[in-house]
């Protein structure tokens, strides 16, 4: 499987290409856990992104970035107990800079997939979450 499907509760289905070469461990764990769903909220510190705190999913650091993360990127913030950072999954829909509770206010994320089509519709769905509140988002095999 080189892609997964992401389905918004109130409308919007998107295909994300997995970065299996750049983030093999993260992609493997994501694929093993499919299907799954979490409630996503608009991020309050990282910019234009939706975020969830999965209680049952964690990965190791790999393919990490802080900035230069384009719209449509799926990324995973790896839990770091030392700086009180929980596991988080992000779906970016615009300007996104990963920030945590670290001294420099930056916490790198594992970049593991990219939505490459219908980014305008992704922005509509994500702005709906911003304006109307959290939604369940389902991740499934494609």
For residue 132, the domain's CATH number is 2.40.100.20
| pLDDT tens per residue across span 63-95 | 998 888 999 999 998 876 555 567 899 999 998
Residue 30: closest CA among 47, 12, 41, 17? 17
pLDDT band at 47 (very low <50, low <70, confident <90, very high): confident
| 23-51: average pLDDT | 95
107 — pLDDT class (breaks 50, 70, 90): confident
| Number of domains into which the chain is organized | 1
Nearest to 58, CA basis, from 113, 5, 110, 115: 110
| Domain, as residue range, for 66 | 3-141
Percent of the chain with pLDDT over 90: 73
Whole-model pTM: value is 0.91
Phi, psi of 123 (to 5 degrees): -60, -40
Phi, psi of 46 (to 5 degrees): -105, 5
């Amino acid at each position: 499987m080189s892609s997964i499907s992401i389905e918004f509760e109130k409308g919007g289905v998107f295909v994300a290409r997995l970065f299996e070469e750049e983030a093999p461990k993260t992609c493997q764990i994501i694929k093993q856990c499919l299907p799954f769903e979490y409630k996503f909220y608009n991020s309050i510190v990282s910019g234009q992104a939706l975020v969830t705190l999965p209680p049952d999913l964690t990965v190791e650091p790999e393919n990490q970035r802080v900035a230069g993360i384009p719209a449509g990127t799926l990324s995973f913030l790896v839990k770091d107990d030392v700086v009180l950072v929980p596991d988080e999954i992000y779906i970016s829909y615009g300007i996104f800079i990963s920030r945590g509770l670290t001294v420099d206010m930056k916490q790198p994320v594992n970049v593991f997939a990219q939505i490459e089509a219908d980014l305008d519709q992704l922005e509509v769905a994500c702005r709906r979450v911003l304006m109307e509140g959290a939604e369940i988002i389902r991740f499934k095999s494609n």
